[in-house]
Each structure stands twice: as structure tokens, then as C-alpha cells.
Amino acid sequence: EYAYPLTLDALSHLMEIPPSDRSEIKSSVHRVTEALDPMFTPRMQHDWFDAMDSLVKYFGERIAVSRGLNTSSPNLLDRLSHHGRAAGMDEYEITCMTAFIMLAGFETTAGTLGNAMNALLDGPAREEFVPEITRQQALECIRFDPIGQMTPRLVLEPFEVEGHRFHKDDRIWCILGAANRDPRVFERPNELDLERTGVKPLSFGAGIHTCIGAQVATIVIQSGLSRMGRQFSRISRVSDERQWRKSIAVRELAELPLRGQRRDVPPHQTND
């Protein structure tokens, strides 16, 4: 009721997706992310192709409509299309990249926002919720408990790491969640520390593989947590039971019911 609508509305506003289309977009994105799990079934694979086709077709139509308007103030779709063509991308590549921005920025961001709230309630915000979250604090939350725990990479050339030999065309699953807790990089890695500085999590990848939605995701998580902090001085879970989504690759709470004490009402009143 909070993380998903907030994230979907933020991305839809940037991409000028009308409210009437957002439910279908949400469904298609969920079907795609289901197949991110390395143990996906043939049915999930079929759903993945079907959902991707729907997203690519939809954004292809949106780009065409936006281009036809020829407005003096170009939106995100116009700019992606313009810069994509300037870089030598064809229409299909531009459309796929646009669809991937929604894929990379929606469900993963909503899930990480939920994980961040859950982690804050276990530690720094147990007694009083933080009224304003900084960018560094948002990145620390993203480091501590990212929704994306692993990502595949394809070996281009043979190499060896600590006695393990990898061959050309081998597929490697990089465990990002473990890398974010590397004690050689982060002091007290298993602690969510809102005073930590210089946080550079691998949750968004790195180099040419850096997530295209990284900046938007960080802003949404920062603003989403800050918005809660400005409204509520105390936030707690309705139940201590937490149900996690069944997935190897994706770590996300199925739901996180909360109750809060508004900053402008007496302490004995709460809002669920």
C-alpha cells in the first residue's frame, strides 16, 4: 500500500505513463522478476517471454506517441529516444532499454524500500524513527539488505580466482549480498550503521553493468523513508512475524504491516 504505489507512481511520472496503464505494467514487471530466480521453471520462462513482449510493445507505442507530439519540453522517453539514436541504437534497442528502466527501477526499488524499513526497525529506528534520511543513509540501507542478492555474468576469457578456474562462456553467479558484507571493505559489515560514510554498495553493479535505474532508485528510497519519518515519530510492526518472498535471487518481504505514531497527535493514538 506504500512502497509499490510510491515507486510505480514515481517512475510512471518520469515516463509519463497514464494511471490507467499502471496496473498492467505492474503485473508484467512482476512476471519478469519472477524468472530472475536461477531455479525458474519452464512456465516461468514462458511467462517471462510473454511479459517482456508486452512491455516492449507497450513502450514502443509510448515512444511513438511521445515522438509524435513534438513538444518543446521533451520528457524522459523523448530524451532516451534522441540520445539512443545519436549513439547508433536502433528502435528495438531503444525500446528494450526503456522497458528495462521500468524493470530495473520498479519492483526492485519497492522491495528494497521494504527491506530498508524492516532493517531500520530492527536497529536505528527501534525507539524513534529518523525524521530525515540522507543519501548516504539510503545507500547504507541498500548495502545492508538489497533485494537483488545475486546477478549472472558470462566469462569472456579464461581466468582463475583463488584456485578456481573459469572457462570462456561459463556462467557465474555473483553474490552481491555477500559482497556488501565484506569485512575487508566495510567495518562491522553486519550492522546497519546510519553514521557510515563513503558507502558504495555493489547492489547496483559496477562499471558498464551499473544499473540504469540506480539514481532513481536511491532517490525513491531516500524520499520514501524520509516521508515516513516526517509523518511518524514512532513506527512499529503490526506483527513480529515476517514472511519473505520464496526466491533464491530475490530477497523481499511479502508484506510489512506497520503502525505509526504521528508527530502531530497525542502518544496514545496510532495509525495502521
Q: What is the pLDDT of residues 200-235, one digit of tens each?
A: 999 998 888 888 788 889 999 999 999 999 999 899
Tell me the pLDDT tens digit for each residue of 73-101.
677 888 888 888 899 999 999 999 889 88
pLDDT in tens, 129-186: 888 999 999 999 999 999 988 888 999 999 999 999 999 999 998 999 999 999 999 9
pLDDT tens across 108-128, in order? 899 999 999 999 999 877 778
Query: Can you tell me the distance from the alpha carbon of 192 to that of 225, in angstroms, rounded to the nearest whole number?
Result: 15
- Indicate the range of 35-39, 115-119, 151-155, 240-244 predicted with least confidence: 35-39
Region 23-35: mean pLDDT is 86
Using a 10 angstrom Cβ sphere, with 0-12 exposed, 13-18 middle and 19 or more buried, the burial of residue 51 is buried
Q: Which three cell numbers stand for residue 129?
A: 524513527
Instruction: Report DSSP letters for 208-263, one per residue.
Output: GGS-TTHHHHHHHHHHHHHHHHHHEEEEEES-S---B-S-SSB--BS---EEEEET
The pTM score is: 0.85
Single out the residue of 48, 47, 54, 45 nearest to residue 21, CA to CA: 54
Residue 32 pLDDT grade (very low, low, confident, very high; cuts 50, 70, 90): confident
Phi, psi of 232 (to 5 degrees): -125, 130
Report d(CA 255, CA 139) in Å as an integer. 22
Q: What is the rounded end-to-end Cα distance, in angstroms, of the chain?
A: 11
Residue 53: name the closest of 114, 98, 96 by CA. 96
Check the CA dihedral 55-249-119-187 and report its sign. Answer: negative
Ordered by where they begin, the domains of the chain are 1-105 (1.10.630.10), 108-150+189-272 (1.10.630.10)
Mean pLDDT (whole number) for 14-25 = 91
Give the position of cell 543519501: 135
